[in-house]
């Protein structure tokens, strides 16, 4: 038996060195054994490594031995017990001695300390089999995807100012997600990080749920509760760069270990961090093992990979850069690592959704790797977000001259599989909240926020909004405080929340908004040229001819009477959503009457309807009784 274990460990080491061990946490880090605990750490150029912790008064009485071929140090001891703190004392290549964290630790003490905790996560008997089975059988691209983005420690705080743990979030956030009709929740990074101000994007523990948020077991219970309520869970992950704190990952053994050897490539000037050497096999094993650990240990439904542009372009950062061997700016190591990451995850878990936060258009991000893509399922559409928010911040007097900001996305919306993000990045650092961005007085701001959300829901692409936006929080997001839940005592905020809840339910129930997504058949523009009135009209189409919705967005503070809209078939049409209804915070007490089509040509259609479109409002109109055998378009 001992020989079999030794053989397995040696095989694991070999795979780690070649970049093919995707479960490296099973032998690196701290593990129970028949002789107590075995600790292993990769530090190939260290002169000596010791295990130190509560169990030996942090003294160097437990020297580790090294396998010269692998650079992995090891010690077995009966001294530690569950809950003890530990680190590795590393005598680096130049003789400097420094305490370092365990890169493979699965739990850390609460900050400001960063010692690892000897912790064994008990095997959980999951109860989400129905969710998992349904997920494997369904086509995620043809299903609704509406994500509520959350920063775990600032969604709510207790009365004493302490943040909610995942035990608290299970009791309150899960029912809220269900009540608000979101399909998924996405958390900003949950992995261990030393500074809350980084929002979790400066990581030290790639296998550890931050103890600031609770225990690993509590997060497992949260995910299970989400699945039992038909809600998926995504987590942000940062494989491009890591925290620069000296006692964590940087220059672990005194030489470039996790980072690039070239200091210009290693140093991330923009974020004050260090870039992973994504071409190093051991780093590939480390990072892919981290992703697999989170997917399998916590039954995650998706991972959003942060800062992909920084990983695939050498010149993305603000510091000096050198061209690649072809003379260009492509970071081939990052490019091929991401393809490998997605290939490994899709082979093991084809149903897991991989999302890229990426801001350029020079690289194909989504689609099959065989076609030259990075292999992600979705890409955040940062262009749509920036253009649309610029438009909504603009005085309507000037919108007619910049209508392309609203419509330009129609030119490229099928180039990738997109998620349309109204994310945390847009409601912080002086950018103002979504509500505060809107032009005009408070009433007009709410009216436009409802129209913005309706455009988000009806535009092709999956959806993401940041917490607090759903009721129009006016203040910017603060990472160290809870959301302004007191806002909901105000009637307008309460009605805005009700509107978002209604809109989310509408999105989930209307197949025309997602059934043909990813194909041009899902949309037909009626009129994107009415810049004078600042009104945009288009159709979202389902699989059957009669299953479609007409969307009418009025971006001017002027009500449009007897407004003409081209329709594909003769018959009657019924308004099914009006953003200016009193129940949502508007002034309309009843819907428009049913419209009878008129045989009057409108652009490519030989029929039109006429209705009233509210100022700064949006209508969604559904066919009621139509004749689909009639010609749809005007003869040329």
- Which residues form the catalytic set? 306, 357
Q: 411: phi > 0 → left, psi -120 to 50 → alpha, else beta; which? A: alpha
Helix 216-228 vs helix 129-137: angle between axes, to the nearest 10 degrees?
A: 60
Contact 225, 235 (CB under 8 A): no
Burial of 582 (C-beta count, 10 Å sphere; 0-12/13-18/19+): exposed
**DSSP three-state, residue 148:** strand
| Cα 6 to Cα 1, 3, 67, distances in angstroms | 9, 5, 13
Task: Pull the structure tokens for residue 542.
Answer: 């389902």
DSSP string, 406-424: HHGGGGTTTSS-EEEEE-G
The radius of gyration of the chain's CA atoms, rounded to the nearest angstrom, is 27
DSSP string, 483-546: --GGGGGSHHHHHHHHHHHHHHHHHHH-GGGTTTTTSGGGEEEEES--TTTTEEEEEEE-SSTT
Neighbours of 93 (CB within 10 A): 15
Query: What is the phi/psi pair of residue 568, to 5°?
Result: -80, -25
Place of tokens 């209804």: 581
According to DSSP, the β-strands at 36-42 and 72-77 are antiparallel
User: How many Å apart are CA 586 and CA 187, to the nearest integer?
Assistant: 32
Contact 376, 354 (CB under 8 A): yes
């Amino acid at each position: 038996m001992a020989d079999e274990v030794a053989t397995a460990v040696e095989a694991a080491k070999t795979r780690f060195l070649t970049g093919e061990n995707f479960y490296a946490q099973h032998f690196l880090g701290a593990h129970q054994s028949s002789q107590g605990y075995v600790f292993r750490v990769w530090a190939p150029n260290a002169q000596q490594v010791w295990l130190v912790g509560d169990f030996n008064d942090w003294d160097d009485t437990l020297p580790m031995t090294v396998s010269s071929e692998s650079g992995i140090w090891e010690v077995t001891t009966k001294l530690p017990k569950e809950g003890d703190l530990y680190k590795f004392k590393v005598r680096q290549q130049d003789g400097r001695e420094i305490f370092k964290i365990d890169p493979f630790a699965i739990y850390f003490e609460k900050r400001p300390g960063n010692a690892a905790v000897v912790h064994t996560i008990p095997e959980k008997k999951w109860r989400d089999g129905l969710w998992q089975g349904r997920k494997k059988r369904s086509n995620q691209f043809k299903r609704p995807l509406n994500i509520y983005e959350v920063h775990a420690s600032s969604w709510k705080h207790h009365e004493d100012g302490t943040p909610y743990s995942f035990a608290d979030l299970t009791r309150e956030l899960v029912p809220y997600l269900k009540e608000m009709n979101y399909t998924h929740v996405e958390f900003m990074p949950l992995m261990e990080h030393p500074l809350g101000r980084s929002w979790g994007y400066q990581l030290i523990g790639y296998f550890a749920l931050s103890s600031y948020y609770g225990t690993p077991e509590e997060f497992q219970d949260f995910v299970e509760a989400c699945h039992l309520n038909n809600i998926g869970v995504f987590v942000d992950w940062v494989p491009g760069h890591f925290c620069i704190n000296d006692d964590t990952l940087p220059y672990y053994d005194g030489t470039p270990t996790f980072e690039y050897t070239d200091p210009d490539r290693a140093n991330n000037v923009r974020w004050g961090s260090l870039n992973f050497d994504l071409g190093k096999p051991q780093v590939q094993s480390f990072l892919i093992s981290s992703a697999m650990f989170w997917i399998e240990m916590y039954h995650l439904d998706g991972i959003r990979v942060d800062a992909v542009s920084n990983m695939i372009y050498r010149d993305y950062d603000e510091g000096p850069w050198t061209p690649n061997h072809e003379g260009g700016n492509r970071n081939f190591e990052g490019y091929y690592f991401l393809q490998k990451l997605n290939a490994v995850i899709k082979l093991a878990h084809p149903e897991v959704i991989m999302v890229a936060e990426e801001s350029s258009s020079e690289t194909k991000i989504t689609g099959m790797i065989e076609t030259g893509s990075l292999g992600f399922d979705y890409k955040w559409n940062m262009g749509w977000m920036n253009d649309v928010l610029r438009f909504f911040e603009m005085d309507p007097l000037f919108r007619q001259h910049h209508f392309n900001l609203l419509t330009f996305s129609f030119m490229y919306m099928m180039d990738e599989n997109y998620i349309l993000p109204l994310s945390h990045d847009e409601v912080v650092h002086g950018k103002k909240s979504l509500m505060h961005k809107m032009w005009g007085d408070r009433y007009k701001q709410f009216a436009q926020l409802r129209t913005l959300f309706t455009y988000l829901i009806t535009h092709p692409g999956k959806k993401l909004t940041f917490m607090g936006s759903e009721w129009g929080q006016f203040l910017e997001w603060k990472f160290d405080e809870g959301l302004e839940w007191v806002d909901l005592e105000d009637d307008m905020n309460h009605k805005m929340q009700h509107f978002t809840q209604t809109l989310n339910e509408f999105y989930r129930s209307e197949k025309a908004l997602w059934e043909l997504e990813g194909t041009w058949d899902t949309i037909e523009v009626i009129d994107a040229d009415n810049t004078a009135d600042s009104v945009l009209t288009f159709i979202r189409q389902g699989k059957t001819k009669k299953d479609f919705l007409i969307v009418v967005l009025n971006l001017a503070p002027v009500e449009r009477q007897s407004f003409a809209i081209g329709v594909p078939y003769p018959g009657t049409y019924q308004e099914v959503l009006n953003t200016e209804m009193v129940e949502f915070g508007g002034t309309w007490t009843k819907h428009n009457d049913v419209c009878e089509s008129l045989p009057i040509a409108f652009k490519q259609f030989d029929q039109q309807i006429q209705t009233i479109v509210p100022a700064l409002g949006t209508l969604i109109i559904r066919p009621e009784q139509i004749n689909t055998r009639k010609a749809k378009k005007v003869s040329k």
